[in-house]
A and B are shown apart, each in its own frame.
Chain A
Amino acid sequence: MTAPPLLEIRGLRTVFGTRSGDVVAVDGVDLAIAPGECLGVVGESGSGKSVTFHSVLGLVRPPGRVEAGEILFDGRDLRRLRPDELRALRGREIAMTMQDALTALNPAFTVATQLVETLVAHDVGMRTGRAARDKAIEMLRLVGIPEPERRIDDYPHQFSGGMRQRVMIAIALACRPRLLIADEPTTALDVTIQAQVLDLLAEMRATLGMGMALISHDLGVVAERCERIAVMYAGQVVETGPTAEVVAAPRHPYTRGLLRSIPSLEDPDRPIEPIAGQVPDPSTLDAGCRFRPRCPIAEAGCATPIGLGEASPGRRARCIKAAA
């Protein structure tokens, strides 16, 4: 990457206080997204992928707190912003879509109310209801909602799952943000609807020239849509690099394990090899490699702290055997 990144996260550490001590949900995460780039963030439940981006937007609430790290957006550290500065930025420069549109949208208000609210809150030129409503209808049309003039006055429950996701995308994109964080945008959707929504996101990204973080547990979704991916495990990034290279020749044993454990439609007879064991309990982690209890190639050296080192140009992996 030669262009300065749009978003750069350095050494992010987010913890949640519990009665039995702090649980580190995100531990030393480094990530960067260039302007207009799509970064795929993949990991299983509890890997810290959502918490990482909640931290970016200042959405981590007590007992959680961002303990360390820099979150540079366009060179400005978001952790140093005043709450009102952050509020002005959120929704306008960086927007986020949530996994479950039915819970993310307010069931008691029409789509019109929720879209217009976003526009009025952020856009000085939208003080009048009429202009904002016209703009809202235009956004709904842009995301492919049929008959937007009529549907804008419907409530969220009157839309299907795919259409609801489109409504949420319309709200997120209403202020033409420079970065969209799409958190599991298609997890609740059927595969044909998923394809429609992913197509829409790709189209919107091209139209608006925005950067995007596509968070998903589905390696296939991320691999198909993103130039670069970051694989997370137990609160850390364990591998990053160009998607095609990572999928073709993963450097971290966890990435390799993930790829081998997914049944392939192209080759359904290939045996799948599960990763043994399960994700570690975050309260029992030590300083060494977090994957080593499940790792087939772990050795004594894995108990020492291991950084996210360069494995080859443009690729990094958190493994002492990555350079091989």
Chain B
Amino acid sequence: MSAAPLLAVRDLRKHFDLRRGLRRLVQGRGGNTVHAVDGVSFEVARGETLGVIGESGCGKSTLGRTILRLHEPSAGTVVFDGIDLGGLDAAGLKAMRRRMQIIFQDPYASLNPRRTVEQIVGRGLALHGDLPAAEIRSRTEAMLARVGLAASHLRRYPHQFSGGQRQRIGIARALVLAPEFVVCDEPVSALDVSIQAQILALLGELKRALGLTYLFISHDLSVVAHVSDRVAVMYLGEIVEIGPARELLTRPAHPYTQALLAAVPKLSQRRGERPARLAGDLPSPLSPPAGCRFHTRCPRAMPRCRSEAPRMTKLATAHHVACHLHTSEAT
């Protein structure tokens, strides 16, 4: 990346303090702070799609929301197009929101059931700038047409649409302000496969037509592989590996990435050669394991992994991994 990145995230942290009642419930499980995002750094170039993959609770959704300031970061910086979002006042932040938007996972929960499509999609236009009502309406209509909905849908309510159509409404809402950067937070997880493919195709089309930059968050490795230029793998609040999508999939360096890839069901049956499974569950983010956070489940853990957290090591151009197997002292 020679040009300045559109988005630069540096050592971003988001910790959630548990309230007293909850704290009592989880007593004995360790700390009182959930380290949802714990020191994440990366850059996204303009026009690029960075996929973020990880299992539930790894912090990928919190990451997306903290970048957009839907959560206040606990530490670290987010620089968007040269502007440090941490230094902005409320008005400055509001102005930035035109340029950074989000598409949510659940098209059933993320649309207000008491608002018409016109109100939902047009709301952003009404809030940002003083456009005349007729202009808001025509832009809303144009946006709906762009996502494959008709003008006749404007007066309808979310419950009158199927899941796929609702996600189109969510996309229209996010894109109506012509943002440059969009966080797609599991945009197809709630959809049936044939509809999922329609939405993925639409997101791809819109990206090309509008020159968008995506942070594409998903638990589905095949989907992420399909849409992303680069992929970041998260585990317990940290990025453990990041690199070009093709390279990361064909030559995964981190044992966790390898295990994720091996666990994805394949259409072609290859009986007999069952890869080793990851044992156990994700440890509690209240008290992440010391050293490398993955060492409790890692098939290749070494003594030093229990005490010493691995640093990001460069493997190849743009391919980095945080694993002691790849630090020079290990070999």
Contacts and interface: CB of A to CB of B under 8 A. Distances in A.
Interface of A: 44-45, 160, 162-163, 190-196, 198-199, 217-221, 223-225, 243-244, 247, 257-259, 261-266, 268-269, 272-276, 278-279
Contact of A224 (B201, B249, B265): B265
Interface in B151-199: 162, 164, 192-198
Interface of B: 55-56, 162, 164, 192-198, 200-201, 219, 221-223, 225-226, 245-246, 249, 259-269, 274, 277-279, 281-282
Nearest to A281: B162
Contact of A243 (B162, B245, B269): B269
Contact of B197 (A191, A220, A274, A278): A274
A233 to B, nearest CB: 10
B260 A192 contact: yes
A272 B201 contact: yes
Nearest to A268: B225
B162 A278 contact: yes
B269 A278 contact: no
B201 A195 contact: no
Closest 3 pairs between A and B when the two form their complex, measured CB to CB = A261-B197, A220-B265, A263-B226
A191 B219 contact: yes
Contacts of B222: 220, 262-265, 268
Contacts of B193: 44, 217-219, 258, 261-262
Given A190-B56, A192-B259, A224-B269, A268 B249 contact: yes
A216 to B, nearest CB: 9
A273 B219 CA distance: 21
A162 to B, nearest CB: 6
* Max chain B C-beta neighbours (<10 A), residue from A45, A220, A259, A274: A274
B269 A191 contact: no
A160 B269 CA distance: 29
A45 B195 CA distance: 11
* Max chain A C-beta neighbours (<10 A), residue from B164, B201, B226, B265: B265
A259 B56 CA distance: 26
B277 A196 contact: yes
Contact of B194 (A224, A268, A274): A274
Given A44-B193, A193-B55, A275-B197, 14 more contacts: A44-B192, A160-B281, A191-B260, A191-B263, A195-B262, A247-B267, A265-B225, A265-B249, A265-B266, A266-B268, A272-B201, A272-B226, A274-B201, A275-B198
A272 B225 CA distance: 12
Contacts of A258: 193-194
A192 B274 contact: no
A246 to B, nearest CB: 10
B265 to A, nearest CB: 4
Contact of B269 (A219, A223, A259, A263): A223
Contacts of A220: 222, 264-267
B269 A244 contact: yes
B10 to A, nearest CB: 29
A192 B278 contact: yes
B261 to A, nearest CB: 7
A266 B269 CA distance: 13
Given A44-B192, A261-B194, A268 B246 contact: yes
Contacts of A275: 194, 197-198
Nearest to A218: B265
Nearest to B259: A192
Contacts of B249: 265, 268
Nearest to B202: A274
A265 B221 contact: yes
A221 B265 contact: yes
A190 B245 CA distance: 21
Nearest to A254: B194
Contacts of B265: 194-195, 198, 218, 220-221, 223-225
B56 to A, nearest CB: 6
B269 A217 contact: no
A221 B237 CA distance: 28
Contacts of B266: 220, 223-224, 265-266
A196 B262 CA distance: 12
A65 B226 CA distance: 43
A190 B219 CA distance: 8
Nearest to B274: A199
A217 B192 CA distance: 8
27 contacts: A160-B281, A190-B55, A191-B263, A192-B260, A193-B281, A195-B263, A196-B278, A196-B279, A217-B192, A218-B265, A220-B264, A224-B266, A243-B269, A244-B268, A247-B267, A262-B193, A264-B222, A265-B261, A265-B264, A265-B266, A268-B225, A268-B226, A269-B246, A272-B226, A275-B194, A275-B197, A278-B164
A38 to B, nearest CB: 12
Nearest to A264: B222
Contacts of A45: 192
A83 to B, nearest CB: 35
A163 B266 CA distance: 24
A122 B278 CA distance: 35
